[in-house]
Structure 1
Amino acid sequence: MPRFSANLGFLWTELALPDAIRSAASVGFDAVECHWPYDTDAGDVCAALRETGLPLLGLNTRRGDVDAGDNGLAALPGREAEARAAIDEAFDYADAVNAGAVHVMAGIADGADARQAFVSNLRYSVSRAGARMVLVEPLNAFDAPGYFLNTTQQACEIIKEINAPNLKLMFDCYHVGRTEGDVVGQLHACLDHIGHIQFASVPERGDPSGGTLDYRSVFAAIDALGWKRPLGAEYRPNGPTEASLGWMSPDK
């Protein structure tokens, strides 16, 4: 039976982050992860993590000026100073709360200059990370049109080029399912580079009991690969989070 991490960017969003951590523990999650925790005092997050015993697996770099259309900064030529400030902020917060990884968001860009900026900022990230993991995640074009990183092959090529042991792929079954289709095949193809796995139904991004992707088979395939770390439940519940958790029962 897989272990699961609650992504608190989507689950229990009506609660303050420390209380969301407590809620995740109360229903049996094995870990938590989040998106942008920076407005929450790190000491309060640490207190909730100590109280519950849950590890915080990861967090994201800031997206930049969201109102102006930013969705990450690391692949934006000419904005390296902003990107590296966001990377520093993310690792400072990760250090304070002992988060295992930072997802460095690429942003909306394309072309050779964008790739060069992304590779340069990732090299900076892996040197800044210390013992922590740096994650990159391809996003599908339906939810994130124009996002620089959009396929697992593209991500793995960059990971191999940089060749740093702490740079890994965040494999989101939802994004892969929307863009590439063969989720289990891509899991096998990318396994050596994967640092974290997330999931949601395809195409709705709801809980994994619905949609076109059979998560019983996907979870069984992940087990067969020998994966031991918690899988990230990054889905949008249709109503209260507690009402969406039937999939966690072994008999479901």
Structure 2
Amino acid sequence: MPTFCANLTMLFTEYPLIERFGAAKDAGFDVVEILFPYDNPAQEMRSALIKHDLKMALINTPPPNWAGGDRGYAAIPNGEKRFQYDFKRTLRYAQLLKPTHIHIMAGRAKGAVARATFIENLKWAAMQAPKQSLTIEPINPTDIPGYFLHDFDQAAEILDAVDAPNVNLQFDAYHAHMITGDLPATWSRHGHRAVHIQIAGAPGRHEPDIGDIDCAGFFKQIDADGYKGFVSGEYHPKGRTVDGLEWVKL
């Protein structure tokens, strides 16, 4: 059985962010993640982690402005200085929150120059934080049109080019289904690179057990393959979060 994680950006939104830590613990989670923690004091979140005996699985970088903003800078030509600035900011948060992983977002870009920029920025980040696990994640073009990293084969090729032991794959089952239409086969091809999993139902991005994804079968598949990382629920609940947690019992 996987170790499940609650994405506090999307789950328990009935509460202010700082109260979601306790709500997640009360619901049975020992691990949480936050997409963009930068609008809240890091020390306040660290205190909430300690108070509720929680571990932080992952935070994203960059940027802090998710609503209406760009989806990262790592693949944006001539955006290296902004990427480096934001990455250093994330490392300051990581010193207190101690996330297992930092997800580096590529941003909207295309072409050979964007690919070269992404690879060089990933190499730079890996050297800046050699003991920190860093991840990249393919995102489907329906949810974020124009996002540079939009394919799992593309991600594998980039990881090989970066060739850094602390840069690996973040495998989102929802995006895998949306991109390929075949989650089990995509995992079979690329799951050996995965250090973190996120899951949601597809279509709709609601509870993982709603929709076309066989999440019980997927959990059995990753267990059989010996996956030891976290599986984070990153979805929009159809109602109150606690009323839709049957998926963690599958």
Give the corresponding residue for 2:191. Answer: 191
Residue 143 (structure 1) aligned with residue 120 (structure 2): no
Number of residue pairs the alignment of both structures matches: 250
- Aligned mates of 1:42, 1:18 — CA distance in 2: 11
- Aligned mates of 2:51, 2:8 — CA distance in 1: 17
Alpha carbons of structure 1 residues 121 and 231: separation in structure 2 relative to 1, 3 Å: same
- Aligned mates of 1:77, 1:174 — CA distance in 2: 28
Residue 49 (structure 1) aligned with residue 40 (structure 2): no
Alpha carbons of structure 1 residues 242 and 146: separation in structure 2 relative to 1, 3 Å: same
CA shift, 1:65, in A, is: 6.6
CA shift, 1:130, in A, is: 2.9
Residue 90 (structure 1) aligned with residue 80 (structure 2): no
Aligned pairs for 1:70-109 (under 5 A) are 70-109=70-109
Alpha carbons of structure 1 residues 200 and 43: separation in structure 2 relative to 1, 3 Å: same
1:129 counterpart letter in structure 2: A
Give the corresponding residue for 2:61. Answer: 61
Residues 38 and 64, structure 2, Cα contact 8 Å, conserved in 1: no
- Aligned mates of 2:67, 2:132 — CA distance in 1: 30
Moved more, 1-10 or 61-70: 61-70
Residue 176 (structure 1) aligned with residue 168 (structure 2): no
Give the corresponding residue for 2:224. Answer: 224
Residues 63 and 70, structure 1, Cα contact 8 Å, conserved in 2: yes
Alpha carbons of structure 1 residues 67 and 240: separation in structure 2 relative to 1, 3 Å: closer
Residues 2 and 223, structure 2, Cα contact 8 Å, conserved in 1: yes
Residue 162 (structure 1) aligned with residue 162 (structure 2): yes
- Aligned mates of 1:145, 1:63 — CA distance in 2: 17
CA shift, 1:229, in A, is: 2.1
Alpha carbons of structure 1 residues 129 and 13: separation in structure 2 relative to 1, 3 Å: farther
Alpha carbons of structure 1 residues 18 and 211: separation in structure 2 relative to 1, 3 Å: same
2:88 counterpart letter in structure 1: D
Residues 107 and 148, structure 2, Cα contact 8 Å, conserved in 1: yes
Alpha carbons of structure 1 residues 65 and 13: separation in structure 2 relative to 1, 3 Å: closer
CA shift, 1:14, in A, is: 3.9
| Structure 1 runs not aligned, ≥5 long | none
CA shift, 1:142, in A, is: 0.5
- Aligned mates of 2:112, 2:4 — CA distance in 1: 37
With normalisation by structure 2, the TM-score equals: 0.95
Give the corresponding residue for 2:112. Answer: 112
Q: Deviations over 1:110-149 (max 9, x none)?
A: 0011111111111111112231111101100100000000
1:62 counterpart letter in structure 2: P
Moved more, 139-148 or 181-190: 181-190
Give the corresponding residue for 2:209. Answer: 209
With normalisation by structure 1, the TM-score equals: 0.94
| Structure 2 runs not aligned, ≥5 long | none
Identity of aligned residues (%): 37
- Aligned mates of 2:215, 2:249 — CA distance in 1: 13
Root mean square deviation of aligned Cα: 1.6
Q: Deviations over 1:66-89 (max 9, x none)?
A: 677521111110111001111111
- Report the secondary structure of 1:57's partner residue: strand
Q: Deviations over 1:31-85 (max 9, x none)?
A: 1011110111111111111122211011011337767752111111011100111
- Aligned mates of 1:4, 1:193 — CA distance in 2: 19
Q: Deviations over 1:216-239 (max 9, x none)?
A: 111110111111222010011012
Alpha carbons of structure 1 residues 185 and 112: separation in structure 2 relative to 1, 3 Å: same
Give the corresponding residue for 1:235. Answer: 235
Residue 125 (structure 1) aligned with residue 125 (structure 2): yes
CA shift, 1:5, in A, is: 0.3
Q: Deviations over 1:156-203 (max 9, x none)?
A: 111111111100111000001001122112212113321101100011
- Aligned mates of 2:127, 2:14 — CA distance in 1: 36
- Report the secondary structure of 1:117's partner residue: helix
- Aligned mates of 1:211, 1:69 — CA distance in 2: 29
1:166 counterpart letter in structure 2: N
- Report the secondary structure of 1:178's partner residue: helix
- Report the secondary structure of 1:153's partner residue: helix
Give the corresponding residue for 1:4. Answer: 4
